[in-house]
A = this chain, B = another copy of it.
């Protein structure tokens, strides 16, 4: 980890850890292709308890987006409610039927979310050699999130780094390298397999919730994956990497030359699905309790045509 990471390093690693063309020139799924039918079947055999644990943070005005800027917390408004019924506004409906209805305005990546492979690019290209001019105000014509609508289902593995370290949470700026991922997995008694959906807990969200402050959560210093995990994600054939932080990667980044270099390499070149703002505390407690860190995992994206991300409610089935 000694050599300086430069913009050239990122491009070199991007080449080295590239899956472009691996599943054909038409592929839009990326590393999700590693989740084969056999892997899915194997994952369905994991549950022992029949318990379902959400890794979703509630979507509301208490969310992490502090603004100003284009990403804001969800705005939920009612278009019909019990007050209308009380006011007689629904009296035209026969038989006393009354109802509530509602609507939302939300950035697709304001909370617990998948990044689509159209979310990040450099040098004019996104995953699988596609031009960024395919992503305009009308949405992404390739690599959008809706191509993943028959997913995501597979084997999830929680790597609970603070518990492994014996800490409540990792300090901001802490980089988690591939060796630590392996060591944590080993300590948990789980082995990483091709097609795995890896959930890396840093404890940052635990801290924010404990301190009742999201200050700095979005875009500020954070613990997270080191850029050196790029090779690990590629070689282990990880389908998706998720964390309890805003951006999965350590911040400040390990280089000043590139912003979010792991996104640049692993999302754009390797085609790994990134999951962010996961709330993993309940899952972490359950895993610690029965010492089982792998589970059936499902987190279907909303198939929003042309979208570059999707809010999700990820479920661990144990």
Interface residues of A (CB under 8 A from B): 7, 10, 36-41, 44-45, 47-54, 56-62, 67-89, 93-109, 118-124, 126, 131-140, 146, 149-151, 153, 255-261, 263-264, 296, 298-309, 311-315, 317
A313 and B83 contact, CB distance less than 8 A: no
A77 and B137 contact, CB distance less than 8 A: yes
B68 and A62 contact, CB distance less than 8 A: yes
B135 and A100 contact, CB distance less than 8 A: yes
A98 and B77 contact, CB distance less than 8 A: no
Q: Which residue of B lies closest to A79 (CB)?
A: B70
Q: Which residues of B contact A67 (CB under 8 A)?
A: 61, 67, 72-73
Report the bound CA distance from A258 to B106 in whole Å.
35
Q: Smallest CB–CB gap between A259 and chain B, Å?
A: 4
Copies in the complex: 4
Q: What are the nearest 4 A-B pairs in CB distance?
A: A83-B83, A95-B258, A37-B50, A82-B132
Report the bound CA distance from A78 to B119 in whole Å.
11
Q: Which residues of B contact A118 (CB under 8 A)?
A: 100
Residue in B37, B50, B54 whose CB lies within 8 Å of A49: B37
Report the bound CA distance from A47 to B300 in whole Å.
17
Q: Which residues of B contact A75 (CB under 8 A)?
A: 70, 72, 103, 105
Report the bound CA distance from A68 to B139 in whole Å.
15
Q: Smallest CB–CB gap between A289 and chain B, Å?
A: 15
Report the bound CA distance from A305 to B260 in whole Å.
30
B54 and A37 contact, CB distance less than 8 A: no
Q: Smallest CB–CB gap between A239 and chain B, Å?
A: 13
Q: Which residues of B contact A68 (CB under 8 A)?
A: 61-62, 73
Q: Which residues of B contact A317 (CB under 8 A)?
A: 40, 44, 153, 298
